Structure 1
Amino acid sequence: MTTAHLPEPMTGQLACWFTARLNGHSTSPRSLALSPITLRVHVHFALPVLTRLAAAGLNDLTGIPPARLREHLAACRLTGNDYANTVSALRAVFTFLHTHRYAARNPAVHLRLGTHHRTIPLPADPAPLREALTSPDPVRAAVTALLVFHAPRVAEIRTLTLTDLRDLDQGRLYLPHRTILLADPVKERLAAYLTHRHTTWPHTANPHLFLTHHSAVTTTPVSAPWLYQQYPSPPPATCCATTASSTRPSAADARMISELFGITYRAATRYTRPYSDAAAAQPGYPRPARNP
């Protein structure tokens, strides 16, 4: 969604916020850089409320009364995750303007975020995963194997270096905050990819594991869009296929899933809950004993 229809000075203030958060701020008040995708999501959810404010003649974000902001937010009649994401986006914009002293007050400070509705992950089609795992393209096969068996984040895969794979013969991959014991299918595909990498770019100075013809003549990692092209399906769907569709996990497997994919125990139970609930509904399923 575009902000071209919004009036000044609102568009200029949004541009200032977007640029500052995209690049980060190293001096007080400090802030970390955010990804363009995160910022576009904020714009997407904040835009309906900002459009209503502009239509009501409230063109300057530094002077929005809190009551008017709540009024126009309520007029959007948002529910569930749409409401939570919109409040989060409005907070991001107005908190920045207040913190950086563009505005004397933050009209979004008392907006209640609520809770995000956590849906049950749906099983994904495993057929594209099988095709990618057996692909003759060593890059596609290696990236898919990493994702299917160990589910590292996109940023972690992009920034993997040859040093992180120094103990491939022992089946270890070193990430910044954990060491992964690689499954045998992953070891095989990574070894095949390393052969392909050395044959294709024998003299590259780039230390990163995955290369393209463009990055091989630099020292930068591959781009996120290029990496996404190697996936047979979006990473969350791939993880769902691995945990939900293929393994049919039980409640006792939540800890194993947590350790395997590097997620919290609470997140892992999202994958096991549907199956544990179904098992509990079966006749003869052991019930917990009641205290006398």
Structure 2
Amino acid sequence: MNAETHRRQSIAPDPVPHGQQELFPAERKWSALRRAAPPEPRPEAGRLLTAFDAHARAHAWTDGAREAAAHVLRIAATWLGTSVPFADSDLRAISAATGRGSQCRPLALNAFLAERGLLLPQPRPATSSTEVFVKQVIDGYPPRIADELDSWVRRLRSHPDRPPTDWRALRRYLFYVKGPLGDWAHRYQTLRQVTDIRSAVTAVKGDRAHERAVALRSIFRALKRAKLIFTDPTRGVRVTRSEPPPTTLPPDRLAGLLDITDRPAIRFALALVTVHALNGTGLARLTLGDVISARAQLLVRRPHGRHTVHLDEVTLQLLHTWLRYRHRRWPRTVNPHLFVTRQTVIHTGPASANYFPATFQRLGLTLNGLRTDRVRDEARDTADPVHLVRVFGISISTAMKYVHTAHPHRASIIPR
């Protein structure tokens, strides 16, 4: 037996006996499987693999994804047995050790195992990485300033009158004020000594100045309400953000849009964007319950409520085509969202926020550009902001911007 044959021989010891208790938690090392041949499945593992193959085919998995997930499950079931749940961390480690991480879909395999009570979910950490990062940044400042920033974080995270501020927003705020906070940390011992807010804000231009002003206002207002400073130095500091007027796409880019793809979902999405001016978030949040086929209507969720879209004949036909394709391709999915992908059919969540913008970009289009062009065309024809609000469900301030962009001679100042 040569060395290569020895390295490729199957490694498959007896599975862990059922009922054997764990003396202490230990992380399994699956790196030895990198050069080992796939083990022969035991009878109980074979039955589980047969059920998984039927599940994957019923949900229209691709051959590569099905084979990669079956390989991971085969190793786990042979080594660990099928009488106890599999740990999510073990499945991911096996996938990485065997080089199948790029093809195996952990969420899909986990959903199959969870249906049979064979999945031990990975416990979520009590502290997120973003929270740890925020605390590390704050701890890097002098003690008194760090204590004041801690008080700011605690107030935003436990405000009695509104939901807690997300840790990602706090991270962005600290990034916006990194420059002035670093300067003040060398000059002052406490934020009570800070008075030169305006110079700190005007040190940058445009949107960066606006973002810095908002972050500083949040910090000093919280400290003032906590009675850690006597006066709020950000009071009276105002930075307006200059928003460019909506732009339009060249007319030749809009011709024959539906002919550039044969994918039913993307053709339907193109119609919703170019005719009814839906954005990417609105597309991803649509559910099957939002479709009212009898009335040719679609209910779209907006921050200020629901907007009713009256579907034209072409868009309605594209909707029916997509629904028929969706049912034929994934007849057993329980995902309630109108748009599903190969990644989301195995759970109930929406498509990612970047799915539609990225798909449009691969077609040489921009989702926001198509949407803006549609609203601007309507503004040219009507010049009535109330009409734009009713047709597209946008806010009155946004509608006014489109009207003044389409008819600049009617007003020189866009109202805020």
TM over 0.5: yes
Which residue does 1:122 correspond to in 2?
Answer: 247
1:151-170 matched pairs, under 5 angstroms: 151-165=277-291, 167-170=292-295
Which deviations, in whole Å up to 9, do the C-alpha atoms of 1:238-271 show, x marking residues without a partner?
2222233x55715634332222221233322322
Separation (CA, whole Å) in 1 of partners of 2:274 and 2:315: 9
Q: Secondary structure at the match of 2:299?
A: strand
RMSD: 4.0
Which residue does 2:339 correspond to in 1?
Answer: 210
Closer/same/farther in 2, CA of residues 26 and 73 from structure 1, 3 Å limit: closer
Unaligned runs of 5+ in 2: 1-132, 412-416
Which residue does 1:140 correspond to in 2?
Answer: 266
1:97-116 matched pairs, under 5 angstroms: 104-105=228-229, 107=232, 109-116=234-241
Closer/same/farther in 2, CA of residues 227 and 65 from structure 1, 3 Å limit: farther
Q: Secondary structure at the match of 1:215?
A: coil
Normalising by structure 1, we get a TM-score of 0.71
Contact 2:138 2:146 in 1 (8 A): no
Contact 1:251 1:269 in 2 (8 A): no
Rg comparison, structure with higher value? 2
Which residue does 2:315 correspond to in 1?
Answer: 186
- Structure 1 residue 230 and structure 2 residue 320: aligned? no
Q: Secondary structure at the match of 1:53?
A: helix
Which residue does 1:287 correspond to in 2?
Answer: none
Cα shift at 1:65:
3.0
Closer/same/farther in 2, CA of residues 26 and 86 from structure 1, 3 Å limit: closer
Higher RCO (C-alpha 8 Å, min separation 6) = 1
Aligned length: 267
Which deviations, in whole Å up to 9, do the C-alpha atoms of 1:66-120 show, x marking residues without a partner?
404444334x1x4554433321132234445666x5x823855415234333432
- Structure 1 stretch 203-212 or stretch 219-228: which is displaced more? 219-228
Closer/same/farther in 2, CA of residues 171 and 30 from structure 1, 3 Å limit: same
Contact 1:172 1:180 in 2 (8 A): yes
Unaligned runs of 5+ in 1: 281-292
Normalising by structure 2, we get a TM-score of 0.52
- Structure 1 stretch 209-218 or stretch 82-91: which is displaced more? 82-91
Which residue does 2:403 correspond to in 1?
Answer: 272
Closer/same/farther in 2, CA of residues 159 and 84 from structure 1, 3 Å limit: same
Contact 1:173 1:182 in 2 (8 A): yes
- Structure 1 stretch 128-137 or stretch 252-261: which is displaced more? 128-137
Separation (CA, whole Å) in 2 of partners of 1:26 and 1:173: 38
Q: Secondary structure at the match of 2:380?
A: coil
